[in-house]
Amino acid sequence: MPNCKEGDLAIICRVTSSKSTNLGKIVKVLRVAVEDELFTDNTGKKIRIVEQTPGDVYWVVEGSSLFLELSSKQEVFLNQRPFNDKFLKPIKPLDDLEGEDEMIKIIKPKKVKYEQVL
């Protein structure tokens, strides 16, 4: 069963590249990725991405300047690209946190007596 579903916000929690540029970025999960799909990099160039591992679920995610290493000498940045579901952790909206009220606490300041120093 996949971690994410269409429409989720997710955080990139794992990367395969030696550069951890995408690690910690928040992305929107758009749809299931199609193998050999064309994507447009930030310069307008079309790129065919073939990096899917058979049996794994891949999502097309949208984010800001998502790094992709095509080869040891070629790196690109895209606003949409496929990502392995195993590398994504969905972010639950606050209204989905049933039974987790202890995580959300409003901290009220303690009443403190102020004494005037003469």
pLDDT tens-digit readout, 71-106: 767 888 999 999 999 999 999 876 655 655 555 555
Q: Which amino acid is at 16?
A: T
Q: How far apart are alpha carbons 16 and 9 in whole angstroms?
A: 21
Residue 9 pLDDT level (bands cut at 50, 70, 90): very high
Write down the pLDDT at residue 112. Answer: 58
Write down the pLDDT at residue 85. Answer: 94
CA distances from 94 to 43, 90, 106 (A): 37, 13, 14
pLDDT tens-digit readout, 27-57: 999 999 988 889 998 888 998 877 677 788 9
Residue 1 or 27, more confident = 27
Q: Which two tokens stand for residue 84?
A: 């392995």
- DSSP string spanning the chain? --S--TT-EEEE---SSSS-TTTT-EEEEEEE--TT-EEEBTTS-EEE---PPTT--EEEEEEEEEEEESSSS-EEEEEEEEEEGGGEEEE--GGG-TT-GGGS-PPPPPP-------
